[in-house]
Amino acid sequence: MLGAVSTSLLNVRSMPTPSGAILGQLTEGMVIKGEGPFDNWLQLHYKDTFGFVSAHYLKPVNDLTRLTGTVNTSRLNVRQAPSSSAKQLATISRGASVKTLAVLNDWLEIEFNGETAYVAARYVDLVYVSKGYYAKVSADRLNVRSAPYSSASLFGQISLGSQIWVEGQQQRWSQIRFNGNRGYVASRYLTPIDNANTDAEQADPIALSDHQDDISIPIAELGQGLSRLTPTTILTVTGTSEQRNAAATWNRWGALLTELSDKKQLDVACALAVLCVESSGKGFEQNNSDRMIIRFENHKFWKFWGKHNPQQFRQHFRYSNDKVWRGHEWRREPSGEWQSFHGRQLNEWQVFEFARQLDENAAILSISMGAPQIMGFHFERIGYQSAVEMFDTFANSIQGQVNGLFDFFSPRMLQYLKDVAFEDFAGMYNGKGQKKVYGNKIQKHYVAFKKMMPNLEQNHS
């Protein structure tokens, strides 16, 4: 069982009884993996021995994008496969942040240099960020460190009275976002603020200037909307890449997907498979300051702006003439080197922000947005008066993104999905040139999800 502590302090006992000796305590949000539960107790490894915690104070870990990991040993090997005999790719040091993709028995599957790699799970402290809160800094200068250790390197400092968003706790440390990075500050220098009396729009702009892009998404995903997104049945994120992707997507948004699919008389597995393929089931990128996932299309920017400014366009953007979705490169300076940018959200946003300086509306029309990756020029089709309105909604709400997916489905698209004719659907959604590739991907995710949820009631009308 994989669970996160749901109370401020949870005792680890020597025996599975309330009278067992206390070996130590776990703080809220800490993630543990153990055997059970047995008679409402979970057995786990704790400080080179066995311990027991009450399962009553654990909650399921249903969204791996909210898992944060910190290396707890001096040097940790990163391997190509989940085996101590697998090829060693690198080592990472104590305090390093680890982005966890899946928990595989004694190993963590992680993202490493844009690829998939593995580390031994016992050497990484995991925290589940399921809720957050505002806090005010009570120290003159509060150090922001790269890890929850007093010896970790400094990211910077936050001044007295600044208001920040706290993502979670690790022992005596609070996890925050700082200049786009995950950072840690000593909890004793923070004073929680009542959210009911807090208005982010009226907060101190200097205090929030480093964090405004980071605050909007956690509020949207971790606030009241969470209960409307998360399904009752939580799947274990394991198995093939398609199964892991399908399970993670279901755990995030299964309730909302089911509700919207029922309205369309559609098998929820079809909508889920589409989201898995379009954006790996994510609407926001945690490693890019939690900003919305986008893809900037050079050839579309040519259509909406470049053809009217051809000389300036060609100084900064280029793409293949025959297959216009390929060969996308850009450069900030006319004499600079050409760079590709697809595949990393930080780079996508750099190009997009540059294009916005040239023409904001044209730039927004030229990006695909969020989990469903709907192009900005489709704003009217899904009910918006402008591309900017669509952008603002998608950038601040996962509900807006998922609703947009269902609004985008035409009657013919819906029929193709109901007929499980995924290649025909992909021809309309992704374009005829890519329909075989995308149709096959959708099919694989559909099958993976159906195998994991065979007893889930589906509407096949």
Q: 179 pLDDT exceeds 70? A: no
- pTM of this prediction? 0.57
* Model confidence pLDDT, tens digit, residues 23-59: 888 877 888 888 877 888 988 888 778 899 998 898 8
How confident is residue 211, by pLDDT bands cut at 50, 70 and 90?
A: very low
Pick the CATH number of 133-210 from 3.30.450.40, 2.30.30.40, 3.40.50.11720, 3.30.70.270: 2.30.30.40
Q: 222 pLDDT exceeds 80? A: no
Structural tokens at position 23: 């070996």
Which segments of the chain belong to CATH 2.30.30.40?
Answer: 2-60, 64-128, 133-210
How confident is residue 364, by pLDDT bands cut at 50, 70 and 90?
A: very high
Query: What CATH number does the domain located at 64-128 have?
Result: 2.30.30.40
- Which residue did the predictor score with more confidence, 305 or 457? 305
Return all residues near 27 (Cβ < 8 A) that are at least 6 apart.
5, 8, 9, 10, 169, 170, 171
DSSP characters for 239-279? Answer: SSHHHHHHHHHHHHHHHHHHHHHHHTT--HHHHHHHHHHHH
- Alpha-carbon distance 220 to 178, whole Å? 19
CATH architecture of 2-60: Roll (2.30)
Average pLDDT, the chain: 82
How confident is residue 319, by pLDDT bands cut at 50, 70 and 90?
A: very high
How confident is residue 344, by pLDDT bands cut at 50, 70 and 90?
A: confident
* Model confidence pLDDT, tens digit, residues 113-160: 767 889 998 888 888 876 677 889 999 889 988 778 787 777 778 889
Q: Shortest CA distance to 239 belongs to which of 79, 66, 104?
A: 104
